[in-house]
A = this chain, B = another copy of it.
Amino acid sequence: MRIFYRLCKMSSIMPPPQSLLKPMNFPRKSLYGPGPSNCPPRVLAACALPLLGHCHPEFFQIMDEIKEGVQYAFQTQNELTLAISGTGHAGMEAAVCNMVEPKDVVVVFSAGLWGERFADMAERHDADVRVVEKPMGAVFTLDDVKQALDHHKPSVAFIAHSESSSTVMQPLEGIGDLCKSHNCILIVDCVASLGGAPMFMDQWNIDVLYSGSQKVLSCPPGAAPISLNQRARNKLAARKTKVRSFYLDMNWLGNYWGCDGQPRKYHHTGPISSMYALREGLSMLVEEGLEECQARHQKCANILYEGLEKMGLKPFVKNKAHRLPTLTAVEVPDGIDWKKVSQYAMDKYKIELAGGLGASAGKVWRLGFMGYNAQPENVRTTLRVLQEGIEWSKAGGDAK
C-alpha cells in the first residue's frame, strides 16, 4: 500500500472527463439502411445475460450450437465452421490472411466497394492482385469468370454475393465449379445476403464463405460467421508461411471451436455476449426456417419495388434477378439532394434512409429491410416517409 500511495502522490492524476458523468444518449431509431439493423428484444436480452468463462463447458456448448446454426445458414457440412470475434470486415480479413500467401495470384471480381476492400487486404498480404473490374451495378458472367481464370491462373479468387454498395446480388452457380476445375480457391462474401437469399455453400462449391451478424441475423455487429471446406483446409495446411494474424489464424480458431477433434485449447477470450446474441439470432432463423425467412425478405423487396414504381422512383439495379432482396439502392431523382431528404426522415421520424457507399455515394438511397426489420409495415412506412421527404424537398423545404 505504501508503494502504491507514494506512486500516486509522485504523479498527479489527470482529472476525470466530465462527459462520462452524464447518461448516454441513444435515441431509438429505425435502422432501414444497409445494417446494422434493429435487434429483436430476444437478441437484446441475450446480450444482457450473465457472462460465462470463455473456456467453460456451457460456453463451448453455445459455440457448438452457433457452429450448427452457421452450417445450416450456409447450407454446408464443413467441419471448420465458426464465428470470428470481430465484425464482417474481420471475416473478410480472416479469409484473406488464411488463404493468401505472398506472391499468390489473386483475382478479385470487383464491381463495388467489397471488391476494392478485398483487393486492398490481399495487397497488404503481398499477393499478386489482379482486379477484374466491371462498372458498379454489373454482374459477372460465367464467361467473365472463365476468361479471368484461364488468363490469370490464380490460386485464389474473390467475388461478393452481396455487393451492398450497388445492392447487386451476384449469381454464383457455376463459379465454384469453374474455380475448382482451375484449382483455384473461391472466397465469397455474403455479409448482406445471408438468410435473405438462397445460399448453398456445398452445392455451389464455395471454398470459403463469410458473413456478418448485424444484417439478416439481427444481432449487434461483432461476430462474423465463416466456413472453410476441405479444399480451403488443404491450402491452409500447405502454407509455406504462417498465417500473418494470430487472432484470425483458422488453425488456432478451429481448435478453440472444437473443429479439429483435438482437446480445445485457450486461443483468445471469445466475445461472450456477442456469441450469446449470435446464438439467439441463429436460433430465430432455425425456428422460422431458412426458406420462410428468405421468402419473407423477397416479399418485402417486392412490396418495395411496387411502391417505388408507383412513386416513379427507380431501383439502381435494373435486372430484378440481380437485385439483393435485403437491400435496394434507389436512384435519387434529378434536382433532389439525397442527404437533405435522409436528414428529414431522421429528424422527423427517426428513420434511417441510408446513402450510397463508395462509387454509389451521392447517387442513391439504400433501403434495407433485414431480419427483424423485414416486415411489410416497415417497408410501407419507409415508402411514405421517402415520398414525403421528396415532396418536402421539391416544395423548397430544404432551401433554408
- Give bound CA distance, A68 to B29, whole Å: 26
Least CB separation from A87: chain B residue: B269
Q: Which residues of B contact A48 (CB under 8 A)?
A: 44-45, 47-48
**Separation of A28 and B37 alpha carbons in the complex (Å):** 29
A residues 81-107 touching B (CB-CB < 8 Å): 85-90, 93, 97
Contacts A17-B65, A17-B71, A246-B121 given; does A85 touch B86 at CB 8 Å:
yes
B47 touches A47 (CB 8 A): yes
Q: Give the distance in Å from the alpha carbon of A220 to the alpha carbon of B64 in the complex.
A: 20
Known A-B contacts A16-B289, A56-B29, A85-B87; A11 and B203 likewise in contact (beta carbons under 8 Å) = yes
Contact sample, A vs B, 21 pairs, CB 8 Å cutoff: A3-B321, A11-B75, A11-B200, A16-B287, A16-B289, A17-B286, A20-B68, A20-B72, A26-B49, A26-B52, A27-B52, A37-B51, A44-B47, A44-B50, A45-B48, A47-B47, A51-B220, A87-B271, A89-B246, A90-B268, A97-B245
A contacts, CB < 8 Å to B: 1, 3-4, 7-8, 11, 13-14, 16-17, 19-21, 24-29, 31, 33, 35-39, 44-54, 56, 58, 61-62, 64-65, 68-69, 71-72, 75, 77, 85-90, 93, 97, 117, 120-121, 123-125, 197-198, 200, 203, 212, 214, 220-222, 242-247, 266-274, 276-277, 279-280, 282-283, 286-287, 289-291, 294-295, 298, 302, 321, 352, 354, 357
